[in-house]
Structure formats: C-alpha cells, structure tokens
C-alpha cells in the first residue's frame, strides 16, 4: 500500500562516542551510527521506495532516561528536542517527532512537553522505559511512571492529547551483573528490552494510571512486548487473587489494552504473533512501524504488503489507525 506511516524510528544527534555501544548491537557499529544520524538521505530514499509517506522520529534509546543526573538529563532532552525539530523542519510533510523528556522531575517534564508540543509542533512523547536515578544510598535505581509523583505528567499528557510511547532501554548495572554478566546475548532485543517494557506497561495498567487519566493513550512497540502472550494468565490471577485486596486498578489489563494502549509492529515482522494480536485486541489497536535504523524498511513494508489478512485491516494498520491516534497529522 501507499501512504504508510511508521512511528518507532530513531535518530541521534551526531556523537561518535556512541559507536562502541552500537558495535554491541551490530556487527558494524560505524554503519549503524551512520544510519542513525542519517534521515534525509538513505532513510528517506528507503521510505520513498517502499510506500512510506510519513515517519514520526524519536531520540535513540535510552536517551534522557539513562542519564542519572537530573540537570544533565534535562539539558540533554532540550538539546535533543531542538535538534530533532530542525530535522523535521527540513521536510515537515514527511516527518514528525516524539519529544524526549527528563523524568527526574515531573514538573520540569511537563514544561518541556508543553514547549515541544506548542512551540516545536511535536506529536507525542517517547520515554525510554523508567528514569534512572541515584537513590539515597548512591545506587543506580529506576523510577516507573505509575508512581503518583508522575500524576502531574499524565494530567498534562491527557490535556495536550499527546500519546506516550514506552520504548525499552538498556539494563541498569545491577541487572547487567546479576542477569546478563554471563549471558550478554540476552541483553536488548533478544530479551531484556521486552522483559523491562512488559513490566512497565503492566505497572501502568495495574497501578490505576488509566483510571486516574482515562483519556491517556500509551503506545508500545515490538507487537506489545510480552504483554499479549501472557494476557489471559495475568488477568486470571489478578481477578482470582488480587481484586478487592491489593490491586489498585479498577479494570482488567485486557480492558486497558483495548482502550488506552496501542501496539506497533516495530522490530517484529512476524505473522503468527500479529494475527494473535488481532485476535486478542483487534486490528484497530495495531500500528505499523519499522524501528529504523535497527530494522530494514523494505523488509517491514514487504511483510505488511503481503500479509494474509484483509485489505481493510492492512489499511488500518499501515495508516488509518495512526491518523486517528494523532489528529494533528490530518491538518
């Protein structure tokens, strides 16, 4: 199909110190770096060749969420947002952006979000999982956004009608030691990304964030991380064991997945899990995405165009659901 829209598409400010890290992700870290800082060259050419009309771009993971110093994280977010806004301004008919935010302080995050939406024309927010910070013992810890301290953030998100993409980031040092020291192949897209993002989505759903802010829309990539695969068992035990005792949420995880959460195909072009997702939550909640530059636009686009599902579902997933979720895209 023509007119595809993709929305888990990463860029970075030029910074060659990223190359060693990217060499962990790719057999050729330099090529990956070049692809990450390119937008208007090869990436746009790939979009053109594969019927992709529009991409919502975002900062590379873990971005501001991996910066433990509040001042550094806030300054980084502002710098990244200004840089990404300039990239969009060179071809605004082809690109939009998610804002980067430091989540050390919710009020600061709200102010930067307002600037990004109202002054820079950004379409939503991408948070790279929880905010890393130094706790009172000086240890690196993580804050998740079901914490009531973030209610002012969710209130602003609801007011501005900006979807929030929860994207994974690399593990913190304690997990690197305990889990992955002798199993480094499980870091990132093989396992740790989905493990961490699944936890965060479940924390938001079960913590009652969507009861307090019913109009908030959250997006999660990689076909919903691991939420859908466990959905029946999660709800079964929440109802059987926790409802009326310890569970803050008023509704089932399934209901939030059908009301507040959207999933994307980013990084996961696999037909059986997609059709399973359609069975579980419906085609209206699924958005096509690629996960550039970590995945290939032609591969994702060819997969979408040859899926054994109805043309109307392909049109919804490839474009129409995203237009509905981002009303600003239609103007």
291 binds Zn ion (CB under 5 A): yes
Query: Binding to ligand GRE (CB under 6 A): which residues in 124-183?
Result: none
Minimum CB distance to Zn ion smaller for 8 or for 59:
8
The active-site residue, picked from 129, 196, 291, 313, is: 291
Q: Alpha-carbon dihedral of residues 256, 258, 264, 268, nearest 10 degrees?
A: 90
The contact mask relative to Zn ion for 131-170 (x = CB under 5 A, - = no) is ----------------------------------------
Nearest-approach distance from CB 189 to ligand GRE, in angstroms: 4
Distance spanning both ends of the chain, measured CA to CA: 22
Tell me which of 267, 293, 300, 318 binds ligand GRE, using CB under 6 A.
267
Query: Which string of b and e fits 193-225 if b means at least 16 CB within 10 Å?
Result: bbebbbbbbbbbbbbbbbebbeebbbbbbbbbb
Nearest-approach distance from CB 38 to Zn ion, in angstroms: 16
By CB atoms closer than 10 A (0-12, 13-18, 19+), residue 122 is buried
8 binds Zn ion (CB under 5 A): yes
Minimum CB distance to ligand GRE smaller for 110 or for 197:
197
Q: How many Cα atoms are found within 13 Å in the side-chain-facing hemisphere of 253?
A: 28
Contact of residue 25 among ligand GRE, Zn ion, none (CB under 5-8 Å per partner type): ligand GRE
Nearest-approach distance from CB 249 to ligand GRE, in angstroms: 27
Question: Residue 176 and residue 174: Cα distance in Å, rounded?
Answer: 5
Minimum CB distance to Zn ion smaller for 112 or for 291:
291
Query: Which string of b and e fits 272-295 if b means at least 16 CB within 10 Å?
Result: ebbeebbebbebebbbbbbbbbbb
Query: Which string of b and e fits 140-167 if b means at least 16 CB within 10 Å?
Result: eebbbbbeeebeebbebbeebebbbbbb
Question: Residue 98 and residue 120: Cα distance in Å, rounded?
Answer: 10
Minimum CB distance to ligand GRE smaller for 290 or for 304:
290
Nearest-approach distance from CB 31 to Zn ion, in angstroms: 17
Tell me which of 3, 15, 25, 48 binds ligand GRE, using CB under 6 A.
25
Minimum CB distance to ligand GRE smaller for 217 or for 222:
222
Minimum CB distance to ligand GRE smaller for 207 or for 267:
267
Question: Residue 280 and residue 231: Cα distance in Å, rounded?
Answer: 9
Q: Is 235 a catalytic residue?
A: no
Q: In what order do the strands lie in the sheet with 164-167?
A: 4-11, 52-59, 95-99, 124-128, 164-167, 218-220, 261-264, 286-287
Question: Residue 181 and residue 175: Cα distance in Å, rounded?
Answer: 8
- The SS3 call for residue 328 is helix
Nearest-approach distance from CB 294 to Zn ion, in angstroms: 6
- Strands 164-167 and 218-220 come out as parallel
Contact of residue 189 among ligand GRE, Zn ion, none (CB under 5-8 Å per partner type): ligand GRE
Among the residue ranges 93-101, 172-180, 255-263, 287-295, the one whose residues contact Zn ion (CB under 5 A): 287-295
Residues paired with 67 in a beta bridge:
none
Minimum CB distance to Zn ion smaller for 223 or for 234:
223
Tell me which of 50, 55, 61, 227 binds ligand GRE, using CB under 6 A.
61
Query: Binding to ligand GRE (CB under 6 A): which residues in 176-195?
Result: 188-189
The contact mask relative to ligand GRE for 289-308 (x = CB under 6 A, - = no) is --x--x--------------
Contact between 218 and 264 (Cβ < 8 Å):
no
Q: How many residues bind ligand GRE (CB under 6 A)?
A: 8
Residues with a catalytic annotation lie at: 291
The residues of the shown chain that bind Zn ion, judged by CB under 5 A, are 8, 291
The residues of the shown chain that bind ligand GRE, judged by CB under 6 A, are 10, 25, 61, 188-189, 267, 291, 294
């Amino acid at each position: 199909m023509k007119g595809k829209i993709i929305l888990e598409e990463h860029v970075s400010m030029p910074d060659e110190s990223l190359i060693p890290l990217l060499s962990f992700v790719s057999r050729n870290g330099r090529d990956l770096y070049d692809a990450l800082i390119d937008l208007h060259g090869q990436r746009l050419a790939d979009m053109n060749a594969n019927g992709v009309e529009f991409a919502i771009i975002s900062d590379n993971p873990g971005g501001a969420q991996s910066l433990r110093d509040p001042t550094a994280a806030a300054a980084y977010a502002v710098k990244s947002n200004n840089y990404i806004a300039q990239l969009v301004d060179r071809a605004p008919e082809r690109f939009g952006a998610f804002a980067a935010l430091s989540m050390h302080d919710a009020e600061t995050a709200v102010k930067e979000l307002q600037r990004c939406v109202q002054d820079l024309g950004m379409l939503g927010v991408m948070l790279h999982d929880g905010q890393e910070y130094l706790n009172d013992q000086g240890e690196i810890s993580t804050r998740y956004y079901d914490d009531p301290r973030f209610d002012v953030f969710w209130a602003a998100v609801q007011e501005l009608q900006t979807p929030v993409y929860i994207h994974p980031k690399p593990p913190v040092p304690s997990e690197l030691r305990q889990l992955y020291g002798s199993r480094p192949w499980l870091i990132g897209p093989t396992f740790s990304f989905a493990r961490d993002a699944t936890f965060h989505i479940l924390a938001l759903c079960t913590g009652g964030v969507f009861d307090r802010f019913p109009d908030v829309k959250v997006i999660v990539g990689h076909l919903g991380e691991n939420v859908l695969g466990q959905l029946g068992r999660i709800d079964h035990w929440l109802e059987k064991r926790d409802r009326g005792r310890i569970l803050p949420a008023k509704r089932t995880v399934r209901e939030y997945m059908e009301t507040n959460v959207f999933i994307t195909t980013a990084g996961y072009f696999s037909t059986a899990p997609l059709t399973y997702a359609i069975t579980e939550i419906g085609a209206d909640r699924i958005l096509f995405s690629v996960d550039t530059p970590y995945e290939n636009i032609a591969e994702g686009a060819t997969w979408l165009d040859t899926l054994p599902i109805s043309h109307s579902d392909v049109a919804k997933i490839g474009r129409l659901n995203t237009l509905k979720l981002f009303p600003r895209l239609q103007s």
